[in-house]
Structure 1
């Protein structure tokens, strides 16, 4: 829920928003509030941010510039590793913040609800959540043996999504399994032998922050496992664009031939 500062801002007129992560910018855009974003990190690419002041990369936010933008509410997310220091600096600057930390798909949908409430867009938020649930249910693929999927966030060292990641729940909703669901944590570095031991039926190249995805790098490891590329915007951001990743995953899963 918004605090008194945000509520007073709402009464004065349009709430001035700042977003420090791409996932929150995506949520605001899906809620129809992109035009209220007065400042955003340089990675955010949601439509409607043309007039927003750019604050630099999410882990190197220009807090002084953020303060000068006079936001009524700043949205941050600890889903970006290392974001804690940025959040502390923003709070030390006296800015009103809403800090999210989703781990699962359900947690992501709950964050959509929190942002919708904080911005006075509850009805839009509920509609967005219901549409998300309905499409994800339509994408489910039931097979005798759920395929094991490994989602790779970075190639050197190999870093992939483990149990406490929205990837695990997203794959389960599609009728698949996270090949690393037995490993605790949100993600972790892996050796090539650990990747092999996970016995993936499919490896997804979804490198975070990479200008170009190169699935051929993964194929060159000689594991003999099919590799597909899915943009980080579809799998690495806990927000409505996870549906983009789910659609791409469904296509990839349909193309598998399992023994």
Structure 2
């Protein structure tokens, strides 16, 4: 099978299935696993070069609608008659279902079932630990600083927070992504600040990006250990790697 992935989360699903050797091309942002480094890059996920996609003669393209603007990729695939499926996971259960859906499309039913079971077991294992937490810390997740974007109720990071025995401070907002301001964050008095800026490597984020903000002192932190700089690739992509992020988060906050 010759498979093309048009976004990082799809590429990571292929690896979780143990099928990344089927990949013959990926988008520019796909960076895991390392075995894909030599594959043809087809452009950023919002500007895929469809001529290159067609030249690679894929048996299946894994398209996505996880970011606004990806619709044009799907439209181009339809226009050109290129075989594809569309993944658009918004929750942990969606990711589990996408493992099965992708494996089915590749005639790899057993791998899909095994991967979905493994995914569910790992998630439930952390959830069981989380249920034993009596004092659940509140978390402020920051996806972007200016303007501030943070996940709301309809987002996997609210699920991740709950599984880790914590609470997303914006879990009351019925949106996947919330645009707000620093004053709103301060008023909710989070126990931890989790910085995972989309598209920015962990090494480029500094705690003083937060400590210099007006009113930071009102949070009453003894030091900056309550500010967690996290790997955006483990928290901002709807892929099975969210489990790695979840397990890491649990250790950090408890």
Partner of 1:234: 234
Does the alignment pair 1:220 with 2:212?
yes
Q: Please, which of 128, 136, 148 is the counterpart of residue 115 of structure 2?
A: 128
Q: Which moved more, 1:56-65 or 1:77-86?
A: 77-86
CA distance in structure 2 between the aligned counterparts of 1:78 and 1:131, rounded to whole angstroms: 25
Ranges in structure 1 where 5+ consecutive residues have no aligned partner = 1-14, 255-259
> So what's the TM-score if we normalise by structure 2?
0.88
Partner of 2:148: 158
Q: Which moved more, 1:132-141 or 1:226-235?
A: 132-141
Q: Please, which of 101, 109, 113 is the counterpart of residue 100 of structure 2?
A: 113
8 Å CA contact 1:136–1:174 kept in 2: the answer is no
CA distance in structure 2 between the aligned counterparts of 1:50 and 1:193, rounded to whole angstroms: 42
- After superposition, give the CA deviation of every residue in 1:147-178 in whole Å (9 maximum; x if it has no partner): 21122111111111111111111221222121
Does the alignment pair 1:60 with 2:82?
no
* 1:140-219 pair list within 5 angstroms: 140-141=129-130, 142-211=132-201, 212-219=204-211
- After superposition, give the CA deviation of every residue in 1:88-146 in whole Å (9 maximum; x if it has no partner): 22322221221111111111111111111111222222222222222223323232232
8 Å CA contact 1:78–1:99 kept in 2: the answer is yes
CA distance in structure 1 between the aligned counterparts of 2:198 and 2:74, rounded to whole angstroms: 21
Which aligned runs of 4 or more in structure 1 are off by greater than 6 angstroms?
none
RMSD in angstroms over aligned alpha carbons?
Answer: 1.6
Aligned residues: 240
> So what's the TM-score if we normalise by structure 1?
0.87
CA distance in structure 2 between the aligned counterparts of 1:203 and 1:125, rounded to whole angstroms: 35
Q: Which moved more, 1:124-133 or 1:240-249?
A: 124-133
Does the alignment pair 1:101 with 2:88?
yes
Ranges in structure 2 where 5+ consecutive residues have no aligned partner = none
Q: Please, which of 10, 14, 38 is the counterpart of residue 28 of structure 1?
A: 14
- After superposition, give the CA deviation of every residue in 1:157-203 in whole Å (9 maximum; x if it has no partner): 11111111111112212221211111121112111111123332111
Partner of 1:71: 58
8 Å CA contact 1:27–1:239 kept in 2: the answer is yes
8 Å CA contact 1:24–1:75 kept in 2: the answer is yes
Partner of 1:18: 4
Partner secondary structure for residue 188 of structure 1:
strand
Q: Which moved more, 1:182-191 or 1:223-232?
A: 223-232
CA distance in structure 2 between the aligned counterparts of 1:81 and 1:202, rounded to whole angstroms: 29
Tell me the CA shift for residue 51 of structure 1: 4.3
Partner of 1:249: 249
